[in-house]
Each structure stands twice: as C-alpha cells, then as structure tokens.
Amino acid sequence: MNAAETWRDNLISTEQLAEAVDTFLAALPPERRWDAERSLDWDAADADRLSDGQRSAVEFVTVIEDHLPGYFDVYHRHFPVDGSVDPRVFTHHRELYHFTVRWAAEEDTHARALARYQRAAGMGTRDELRADLTAYGQQEFTLPYEHPVQFFTYALVQEKATQIYYQQLRAGVGDPVLADLLTKLSRDEARHFTFFADVVSRYLRVHGDRVVTPIRDVIADFRMPLAGTVRGYWRWALRIADTARYDHTDAYEHLIAVIDRAVDVRTDPLDELIRFVDSCRTVTATPTGGSR
C-alpha cells in the first residue's frame, strides 16, 4: 500500500468530518462574532497600565498568532483540495476546508487585534510592528506527521493551552481593553479546541487502538508553535512565566478527558496511552535557543 492509500484509509469518513464541521460552524451565531476594527475601545487602550512582563506577553502572543500563514499552509499541504488526490479524499478534505477557512479568519482576527492593541496602547508603530512580525513570520512552520489524527491532536493541545494562557494573563492585567481582548481570544480558542476534540474523538471511535501510537507520538515530541523555529523562544517564554504560565502540559488533562469519553470500552493500549499522557503532565520542556 502506498502513502496516499495509507493516508486515505486512516481518515474518518467524510460524513463524520462534516458533522464535526457543521457543529463548529453552527456554534457561533453572527451576532456573537467580533472583529478587530469595531469590537474594542481602542481609544482607551493604555500599555502604561501593564507590567513589563505583561507587555512582553502581549508581544509574545502577537508573534504566535501572526504566524497564521504558516499554520494554514500545513493544512493546505497535508489535506489538499486539488487534483493531486482522488475524488473520495478530495470530498473529505473539502469538508475540512470549510472549517479551516473559518478558523483561519478567526485566528487572523486575533493577530490583527493584538497588533492593533500594541499600536493603540503605545507599544509600537505600525511600521515597527510590521518589521518585527515579518522577521518572525518568514520562518518556516512544519509538523512532521504521517497520520491525519496527529494534526488534530496537536491542534487540540495547542488550542487548549493557548486558551488557558489567555485566561491566566487576563486575570492580572490592569488595562480593561486588553482584558476584554483576552476574553474574546480565550472564547475563540475554546471553540477551536472543541472542534479538534470532536474530531479526535471520532478518530478514536472509528479506528480505536490503531490511533493510539500516532497520538502518543504527538505527545512525546510536542512543542508549542514556533518553539523550534523562533530564535530565543524559550528565553522569551521564561521571561513572561511569572506573568502567566505558557505550558502546553496544562492541556493534557483535557486530552485525557477526550480519550476517556471517546470510547465505551477501554482497551489496554488506550489505558496505557492515558497513563502516558498523564505522566507527561509533570514534564517541563527544556529551554533552548538564543536570546531575543
């Protein structure tokens, strides 16, 4: 069996995926959507109300959110909607595309809003921000996975960890405008997590023990986006650690809950996976890299 056939056979059905996508798209009514242009009181933004750590945290998450073209390209490359795949696979990927374009639009709003906050609050000019974000944005982002469930597992952890981080950061900020923005961001990330959790659950129900090793491999080598590409990532993350913990292992209890709820009958491989994920909750990533 060649790689394309293996990938096809490891997918969940198009109908299964469509159900998850439809549920996600229906979860946010139009009246609850927000944008970076009109939904926040930018005139009241004031970075003087923030500590140095909070200002650095805002800069940090702006870089992470602004790398969206790299994240989106991962799905374009691994779930293509073109003539390179057979019609059955195209139909599956086209359903996923309905999610990824909405997800990308929301994540792009996050990036725009965080950059807008920095400008409005006096943290930097548009040209300064563009130059800074370009230097980071041109660095490549890849996920070296071979099984489709791995992309959804990675995103599940990343979205939940980011949601938790925004909630922690919001709890201590003195600028109401930033607090409002962080509330909006965390709510969006919670919905994104729910989608990825739904998809991973469907993979577990359909494929069972066959996806245990791929999921385990994601956790064994997990790094947050850009941790391996942005020079000085870990030093930057450590510098803002007292402001709010940006630790992906905070999301692992939620992954365990997803695994536990996804199947009616637990098997030995699934039990071992849960024990492995739980053991990783106490593991701290080793800081590496240069200074920012």
pLDDT digits (tens, 9 = 90+) for 129-152: 999 999 888 888 899 999 999 999
- Which residue has tokens 């439809």? 22
Whether this model's pTM surpasses 0.75: yes
Give the tens place of pLDDT for each residue, 192-209. 999 999 999 999 999 999
Mean pLDDT of 39-50: 97
Give the tens place of pLDDT for each residue, 64-116. 999 999 999 999 999 999 999 999 999 999 999 999 999 999 999 999 999 99
Q: Is 49 exposed, middle or buried (0-12, 13-18, 19+ CB in 10 A)?
A: middle
Q: What is the pLDDT of residue 168?
A: 92
What's the whole-number average pLDDT of the chain? 91
* Closest residue by Cα to residue 40 from 118, 127, 128: 118
CATH H-level superfamily of 40-280:
Ribonucleotide Reductase, subunit A (1.10.620.20)
Say which residue, 252 or 4, is predicted with more confidence.
252
Q: Is 194 exposed, middle or buried (0-12, 13-18, 19+ CB in 10 A)?
A: middle
Q: Is 90 exceeded by the pLDDT of residue 239? A: no
Q: What is the pLDDT of residue 275?
A: 95
| % residues pLDDT > 90 (the chain) | 79
Cα distance between residue 4 and residue 87, in whole Å: 13
What residue spans define the domains of the chain?
Answer: 40-280
Cα distance between residue 42 and residue 117, in whole Å: 7
Q: What is the pLDDT of residue 233?
A: 67
Q: What is the pLDDT of residue 164?
A: 94
